[in-house]
Structure formats: structure tokens, C-alpha cells
């Protein structure tokens, strides 16, 4: 079923997580900005409960549609299917286990409406640790996930994905240009999309905690319905981080990708490794007093000089 045009398409991917999907319903329908459609993609889960929750949204005057997959096609295929199910100016992924403050859509839409230099915008994110007991989520702790973030840099995102999908609203026209989420990726599809997005467009920042990124750290079983891929699927994240960086490098080397993203993505991981090594040296009990400071600064200076030299070489400069 194709939804009618709305200003924003809110895409929710779900599979057999009715407890969390009901919370997502409250988050979406509780927005102060109401010109949106809620597209729920049931990725191979039980139909009945999802249909019931979507019907509840409609009764609350939320424009809502559901897309059912007979079998699970994966997170990124679910994202693409949801985006294709409606027409809108803006798109945002609201996973079934995350949530928003009521003003999230109002403030992010107003930002992109007025700031034509940007094709996407993120807000600061509160990371919420929780457990599920007696079919109810219980918060155990929370803290600012990325409150240090003032601007979004391509070089920085190549080191680490600094914002989750729940905080990122972007123009559909940019999605059409950048290309779909990579359906071959079981994890890190949002990171890959963010990199491709930043190759072409800029992302603004609203320094307010308007997005809530929920984690259930106590669930380590990757087959548990209520686990997070970032926790329960940690091994996959490590594996696909290397696969993606290697792929970017090969595409650049073969000429498929004209830009230096492949080289920079691998410099980024080298930089993280080197900085970790330097920090271990600086905190070593074997390095005392002024010698510790000197060794730290010399190592840092040498690495920066080396990196600067290699980056200059990308452009063929001597």
C-alpha cells in the first residue's frame, strides 16, 4: 500500500518486538509536528500484532502504513522498502527500539526548511541503557552519546560512526542521489550510507538531546529478539568494519570510486590504532615525569607529520 504524500516519511523496521514497537508508536504519534507518515516494515515477523499497532496509530490520527515481508530480508532491505512505500520531502529511520523527544521532528524539519546548505541534520543523542523485565523496558542508566559533536566531518565519520539513525533526518532527493542502503550488509549499513551521503552532501547539527538511542547491553545472544545488533552482533560489526574499509580501498584502486575515500578510510583506522598506541605509552608507569610528556609529544608529532605527508600524496603533490 502506497501512502499519500507527507512532509516526512518515518521508517520503522521491526520483527517480533511488540513491546518495543508499542513504545515506538508513542514516540512517533507523540510528535508536535504531525505532517508525517509512519511506515512500519514488518521484516518477516508475526503480522497480527504489527497490524494491531499500526491500526492503533491510525486511530490516533497518525498516517500509518505497514509493509509485510514474508521472510526476513534484513535491516537495510527493510529501510529501502519503507522509503519506497511512500512519498515525502524528508526521510528518517526510527527503529522499533528507539525513541524521540516530542519536538524532534518539529526542530529537524524547521532546520532543513531554512538551511539550504545542508541536506541532512542530526541532533544530539541520549544513550539509554535498559533491561526488559516482565515485558516492560526499565532504564538502568543514560548519558549523552555524542554531545561533543558540533559539526559533522567526512574524515571523522570514516574513523567512527558518531550518530545513530534515530537522530538523522535527510532529504529524499539526497537519498535518490546517494543510492539505497546496501542490502548485502547485515550490520553497518547506516555507517556505509552516512559515508556515501557525506561524499556528496553536508549534515547540520542541532545541539539538543532530542533523540534517544536505546541499548540492552545485558542481552549478548545474537539470536535474542530484543538484542541490539551493536551489542549482540559485536563480532559482525568488527568483521564488517574491515570488509567495508577494504571494499572502499579496492574500489578506489580499481577506479570504480574516483575519490580518495578508500585510502582515507584506511588511514582513519590506522590513526585510531596509532593514537591508542601513543596513549598507552603516555600512561605507562615506565614513563615518568617530563620524559613521559616528551615521549608522548614526540610520538604524536611524528605520526601527524607522517599522516600529513601521505594525505598530500593523494593529490599527487610532492
Is the distance from CB of 127 to CB of 143 less than 8 angstroms?
yes
Helix, strand, or coil (residue 185)? coil
Closest to 129 (Cα-Cα) out of 120, 140, 121, 117: 140
Strands 203-215 and 99-100: antiparallel
The reported pLDDT for the residue numbered 61 is 94
CB 276 within 8 A of CB 299: no
In this predicted structure, the answer to whether residue 311 has a pLDDT above a threshold of 90 is: no
8 Å CB contact between 90 and 30: no
| pLDDT at residue 314 in the model | 47
Centre a 10 Å sphere on the Cβ of residue 14 and count the other Cβ atoms it contains.
Answer: 22
Q: How many CB atoms lie within 10 A of CB 306?
A: 12
Kindly tell me if the per-residue pLDDT of 301 is higher than 50: no
pLDDT at residue 205 greater than cutoff 60: yes
Judged against a pLDDT cut of 70, whether residue 260 lies above it is answered with: yes
Contact in structure between 7 and 88 (CB atoms under 8 Å):
yes
- Please state the rounded mean pLDDT for residues 279-299: 48
Is 80 exceeded by the pLDDT of residue 221? no
State the chain's mean pLDDT as an integer: 84
For the entire predicted model, the pTM comes to 0.80
54 — pLDDT class (breaks 50, 70, 90): very high
What does the pLDDT look like over 113-160, one tens digit per residue? 999 999 999 999 999 999 888 888 898 999 999 999 999 999 889 888
pLDDT for the residue 287? 46
pLDDT digits (tens, 9 = 90+) for 275-288: 554 455 455 544 44
Residue 255 in this model has a pLDDT that exceeds 60 = yes
- The Cα 118–Cα 173 span in angstroms is 12
> What pLDDT score does 253 carry?
81
Give pLDDT, residue 234: 60
Higher pLDDT, 179 or 158: 179
**pLDDT at residue number 228:** 58
Confidence of residue 272 (pLDDT cuts 50, 70, 90): low
Q: Which 8-state DSSP code applies to residue 156?
A: H
The residue that leads in pLDDT, 182 or 279, is: 182
Amino acid at each position: 500500500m502506497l501512502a499519500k504524500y507527507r512532509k516526512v516519511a518515518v521508517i520503522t523496521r521491526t520483527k517480533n518486538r511488540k513491546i518495543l514497537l508499542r513504545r515506538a508508536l508513542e514516540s512517533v504519534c507523540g510528535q508536535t509536528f504531525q505532517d508525517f507518515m509512519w511506515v512500519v516494515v514488518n521484516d518477516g515477523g508475526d503480522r497480527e500484532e504489527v497490524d494491531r499497532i499500526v491500526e492503533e496509530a491510525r486511530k490516533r490520527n497518525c498516517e500509518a502504513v505497514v509493509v509485510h515481508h514474508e521472510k526476513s530480508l534484513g535491516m537495510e532491505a527493510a529501510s529501502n522498502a519503507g522509503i519506497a512505500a511512500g512519498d515525502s520531502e524528508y526521510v528518517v529511520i526510527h527503529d522499533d527500539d528507539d525513541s524521540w523527544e516530542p519536538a524532534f521532528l518539529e526542530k529537524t524539519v524547521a532546520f532543513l526548511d531554512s538551511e539550504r546548505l545542508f541536506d541532512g541534520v542530526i541532533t544530539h543523542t541520549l544513550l539509554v541503557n535498559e533491561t526488559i523485565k516482565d515485558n516492560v523496558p526499565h532504564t538502568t542508566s543514560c548519558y549523552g552519546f555524542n554531545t561533543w559533536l558540533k559539526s559533522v566531518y567526512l574524515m571523522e565519520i570514516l574513523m567512527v560512526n558518531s550518530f545513530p539513525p534515530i537522530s538523522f533526518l535527510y532529504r529524499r532527493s539526497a537519498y535518490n542521489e546517494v543510492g539505497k542502503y546496501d542490502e548485502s550488509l547485515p550490520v553497518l549499513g547506516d555507517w556505509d550510507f552516512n559515508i556515501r551521503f557525506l561524499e556528496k552532501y553536508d549534515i547540520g547539527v542541532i545541539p539538543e538531546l532530542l533523540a534517544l538511542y536505546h541499548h540492552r547491553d545485558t542481552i549478548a545472544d545474537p539470536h535474542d529478539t530484543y538484542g541490539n545488533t551493536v551489542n549482540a552482533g559485536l563480532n559482525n560489526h568488527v568483521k564488517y568494519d574491515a570488509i567495508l574499509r577494504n571494499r572502499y580501498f579496492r574500489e578506489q584502486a580499481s577506479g570504480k570510486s574516483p575519490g580518495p575515500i578508500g585510502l582515507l578510510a584506511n588511514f582513519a583506522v590506522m590513526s585510531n590504532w596509532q593514537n591508542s598506541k601513543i596513549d598507552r605509552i603516555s600512561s605507562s608507569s615506565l614513563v615518568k615525569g617530563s620524559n613521559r610528556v616528551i615521549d608522548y609529544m614526540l610520538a604524536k608529532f611524528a605520526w601527524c607529520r607522517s599522516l600529513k605527508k601521505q594525505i598530500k600524496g593523494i593529490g599527487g603533490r610532492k
